[in-house]
Structure 1
């Protein structure tokens, strides 16, 4: 792409090259970061350096800079490296620009007001299954879920949605439980993620039938029925079906 001058460029300045060479040190640091991002788990310095084909001391310097900027986190106890909080912030910023987020947020807000429970939108980011929008009811009982919160694949309804419908499914859940969740069209938990709190999560699919995100209702057990056939579950499934339909997916194509 040609470089266009702006108002701050000096008139008659030497034109910039059409294919700039770039900054090698930056590219090396980003290559190391990309390696860490694809690990899917915390990783040690020696292993990262080996995979990058980089001297251990050199990799350490790059990682130190990434840690200082928040892109990488190093565990104080194990010394292992993993993605840092800046990755989550970047993922949330990117996701917020996508049209389907606005569509899902509108449905989540409608559910929150209709049922009087907290409703959230979650998506898979490099940091994990993440709450990208949280809608609280004007009336009813709200549950404090922070935007950016991460969900466990085993104990949370949101995580179970991703463990069940991801491609391939996660072995974090037993196959029998995944089959049960699929047959219901949603995942439920009753006090497993937080005592006294129920949650129901359902999937949203893209035009190819791939899991795109989840909508989850969260509320006190006294205010949110966790029955897969109850009114909240039916309303949640219907909302997710509307979003999936808007994305070009219809259940009849399964």
Structure 2
């Protein structure tokens, strides 16, 4: 903390280290590992986590006893997304956009370890997808993930991509991804057919500020309707939506 930030409360900063450790992990953590990551004793960590559980910032898995971030974190994140401009602008326009186009619209940010949905707007038509806030996507095989791969140069995205490529089974996966990313940077959008659900297609585009990808908008609808190109197409409508954010 810089001196100009003023006097703070040490216990809050220690508790924050526990929450940051859970955020970075992306998976449930044991008490001893959390304590080590935060630089405190297990007894201290347990006391903090007991309070965090009461305030729903943290949950504990019944079977394993491991700790995960709780629902209060989602509520805080949603409140931030609703008020931070230009996210407040795009959030306000999103319901009408999804309804008029007849698609499901998901808004995503880069979460602790992957592209993460923070808001979903249902369409005026039924779209058979169980997409919900908190859903994550990979980089290699999702429209939203490829947008982050194309427009987000942060180390977190590079690390995620390296892990996915290391676990890829298809030959030439990296070359295919690089080729797709080059095309996405030219066109400004990514499309995936039969993804995330058979019979559907998804199209994603970035919302950029000063060259940074601050969020991704992804629409999902019937494949036949989504593959239409040209003026008035879902792709053009999505690009207008994101560029007007």
> In proportion to residue count, which structure has more helix?
2
Residues 1:80 and 2:66 are matched in the alignment: yes
TM-score (norm 1): 0.70
- The equivalent position to 2:194 in structure 1, one of 188, 191, 204, is 191
CA deviation vs aligned residue, 1:7-36 (integer Å, no higher than 9, x gap)? xxxxxxxxxxxx8774x5444333322333
SS at match of 2:216: strand
Residues 1:231 and 2:233 are matched in the alignment: yes
Q: How many residues align?
A: 222
SS at match of 1:43: coil
**Aligned equivalents of 1:26, 1:113: Cα separation in 2:** 43
Which structure 2 residues correspond to residues 29-44 of structure 1 after superposition, within 5 A? 29-44=15-30
Instruction: Using the TM superposition, give the Cα deviation of residue 118 of structure 1 relative to its aligned residue in structure 2, in angstroms.
Output: 2.1
Structure 1 residues 102 and 178: CA distance shift in structure 2, 3 A:
farther
Instruction: Using the TM superposition, give the Cα deviation of residue 114 of structure 1 relative to its aligned residue in structure 2, in angstroms.
Output: 4.3
Task: Say what the alpha-carbon RMSD is for the aligned residues.
Answer: 3.4
SS at match of 1:93: helix
Please identify, of 167-176 and 115-124, the stretch whose mean Cα deviation from structure 2 is larger: 167-176
Structure 1 residues 52 and 141: CA distance shift in structure 2, 3 A:
closer
Please identify, of 83-92 and 70-79, the stretch whose mean Cα deviation from structure 2 is larger: 70-79
Residues 1:100 and 2:86 are matched in the alignment: yes
Residues 1:204 and 2:189 are matched in the alignment: no
**Aligned equivalents of 2:84, 2:90: Cα separation in 1:** 10
**Aligned equivalents of 1:214, 1:222: Cα separation in 2:** 23
Which structure 2 residues correspond to residues 1-254 of structure 1 after superposition, within 5 A? 22=9, 25-105=11-91, 108-109=94-95, 111-126=97-112, 129-138=115-124, 140-142=125-127, 148-154=133-139, 155-166=141-152, 167-168=154-155, 169=157, 170-171=160-161, 172=164, 174-175=173-174, 176-184=176-184, 185-207=188-210, 209-225=211-227, 231-243=233-245
Instruction: Using the TM superposition, give the Cα deviation of residue 101 of structure 1 relative to its aligned residue in structure 2, in angstroms.
Output: 1.9
CA deviation vs aligned residue, 1:224-244 (integer Å, no higher than 9, x gap)? 32879993223323332333x
Instruction: Using the TM superposition, give the Cα deviation of residue 219 of structure 1 relative to its aligned residue in structure 2, in angstroms.
Output: 1.2
Instruction: Using the TM superposition, give the Cα deviation of residue 59 of structure 1 relative to its aligned residue in structure 2, in angstroms.
Output: 1.5
**Aligned equivalents of 1:52, 1:231: Cα separation in 2:** 50
Q: Any conservation in 1 of the 2:207–2:214 contact (CA below 8 Å)?
A: yes
CA deviation vs aligned residue, 1:165-219 (integer Å, no higher than 9, x gap)? 3323331365432540441332222233223222111111111x11111111111
Instruction: Using the TM superposition, give the Cα deviation of residue 65 of structure 1 relative to its aligned residue in structure 2, in angstroms.
Output: 2.7
Q: Any conservation in 1 of the 2:82–2:91 contact (CA below 8 Å)?
A: no
Q: Any conservation in 1 of the 2:114–2:138 contact (CA below 8 Å)?
A: no
User: Whose radius of gyration is greater, 1 or 2?
Assistant: 1
Q: Any conservation in 1 of the 2:24–2:113 contact (CA below 8 Å)?
A: no
CA deviation vs aligned residue, 1:43-101 (integer Å, no higher than 9, x gap)? 33222222333222222232233233221233344443332221111001111012312
